[in-house]
Amino acid sequence: MPAYALARLRRPAEFHPEVGRYLAGIQRTLDPFGGRFVVHGAEVEVREGSWDGDLVVIEFDDLVSARSWYESEAYQQILPLRTRHLAGDVILVDGVGRDHDSAAMAGALGAGATA
């Protein structure tokens, strides 16, 4: 089942060169773990609530790979290049398979939903 690293990053008033070094180095930290960008720094179109920042979504084969990437020595070495200059939130989350059925999930949760 796929898993994702999601980041909501707030844009700084000024772009710092260290962030450029982070961007230049991140792909080589992802490659050994099969990570690939699905969304990278795109502005979002807010439809509900509020959102401040850009969105990054990186897909992995599974949560173990996502966690191993984030905790890897290679990524931990470049991470401060971003965190010193960009505020944000990062989460790792399991995805669902192509056959995911929200109605079946509702039934399993006792929601009594009918299709």
Tell me, yes or no, whether 114 lies in a domain. no
Average pLDDT for 15-24: 95
- Closest by CA to 72, choosing from 36, 33, 40, is 33
pLDDT (mean) for 47-51: 94
- Tell me if 24 is assigned to some domain: yes
Residue 12 has pLDDT above 90, yes or no: no
Is the per-residue pLDDT at 51 higher than 60?
yes
Q: Is residue 104 part of a domain?
A: yes
* Long-range contacts of residues 71-79, Cβ cutoff 8 Å, at least 24 apart: 72/29, 72/32, 72/33, 74/28, 74/29, 74/32, 75/26, 75/29, 78/21, 78/22, 78/25, 78/26, 78/29, 79/22
pLDDT value at residue 109: 82
Confidence of residue 99 (pLDDT cuts 50, 70, 90): confident
Residues 76-96, mean pLDDT to the nearest whole number? 96
Residue 60's domain comprises 3-108
Q: What CATH number does the domain containing 34 carry? A: 3.30.70.100
> Is residue 115 a part of any domain in this protein?
no
Tell me what the mean pLDDT of segment 42-70 comes to: 94
Residues whose CB falls within 8 Å of the CB of residue 28, separated by 6 or more in sequence, listed in order? 74
pLDDT in the model for residue 4: 98
Q: How high is the pLDDT of residue 42?
A: 75
Count structural domains, the chain: 1
**pLDDT at position 31 over 60:** yes
